[in-house]
Structure 1
Amino acid sequence: MSAVADWVGGLLLLAGALLSLVAGIGLVRFPDTLDRMHAATKPQVLGVLLLLVGLALRLRTGSDLGMLVLVAIFQLSTAPVAAQMIGRAAYRSGRVDRSLLDVDELADR
């Protein structure tokens, strides 16, 4: 059973690293702020969570698992807030092309 968990953990580590790499490439390649914000949050968070699950399968000790759970909770709670703040700052500074927005909830403010 230990060998199977090690292999699955290794595959999850590889998948998480690839998703984090894709997020980094998206930050460099995407043209505007909202696209970059999407690349910085969605694949990056999933990549970090896959890395954490892979580490949990490889380490398997109570203190390490507790720390990994805390990192996952912190990542899941801060990434959406950071994306919201980045999007709002970009909108207020005029760096968002408003014609690309389907719904502009801040237009009247």
Structure 2
Amino acid sequence: MLEWLVYILVLVGVFFLFIAAIGVVRMPDLYNRMHATSKAGTLGVGLILVAVAVFYQELSVAARALSTLAFIVLTAPVAAHALGRAAYLSGVKPCEDTYIDELAGHYQANHKLESVDTEATQRRI
């Protein structure tokens, strides 16, 4: 019975990794590709690591697998955000279907975020 749980976890994890791979090929721009890989890839790798922990049933293996899972869950969104911000500041344009660019006009030439309402910020300080 436990083997079936491992098979299901690995199969679902591989499915999500496959979805991430399709997202890299099919998405129109960098930002959508990063979204597909960071979400689906994290979930896929996470499920496979949980399957490893369940399959071996040893404390040392489970601790390593779950600590690796925690590291991936904590760092993948941060890395995707940093890459997306660097791409935006480098001038990588979103696809034509992106109607609203919420960051347009908010960054100075030195890449520091400008406040939209500086007077309200000054009053709060």
- TM-score band, normalised by shorter chain: 0.7 to 0.9
Structure 1 pair 102–5 and aligned structure 2 pair: CA distance change class (3 A): farther
Q: Distance in 1 between the 2:5 and 2:19 partners? A: 21
Q: Distance in 2 between the 1:6 and 1:91 partners? A: 45
Moved over 4 A (4+): none
Contact 1:16 1:48 in 2 (8 A): yes
> How many residues matched?
106
TM-score (norm 2): 0.77
Q: 5 Å matches for 1:73-88? A: 73-88=70-85
Equivalent residue for 1:63?
Answer: 60
Indicate which of 2, 6, 13 corresponds to 1:5: 2
Which stretches in structure 2 are left out of the alignment for 5+ residues?
108-125
Q: Which has the higher contact order (CA 8 A, sep 6+)?
A: 1
TM-score (norm 1): 0.87
Q: Which moved more, 1:95-104 or 1:20-29?
A: 95-104
Which structure has the greater CA radius of gyration? 2
Percent sequence identity is 36
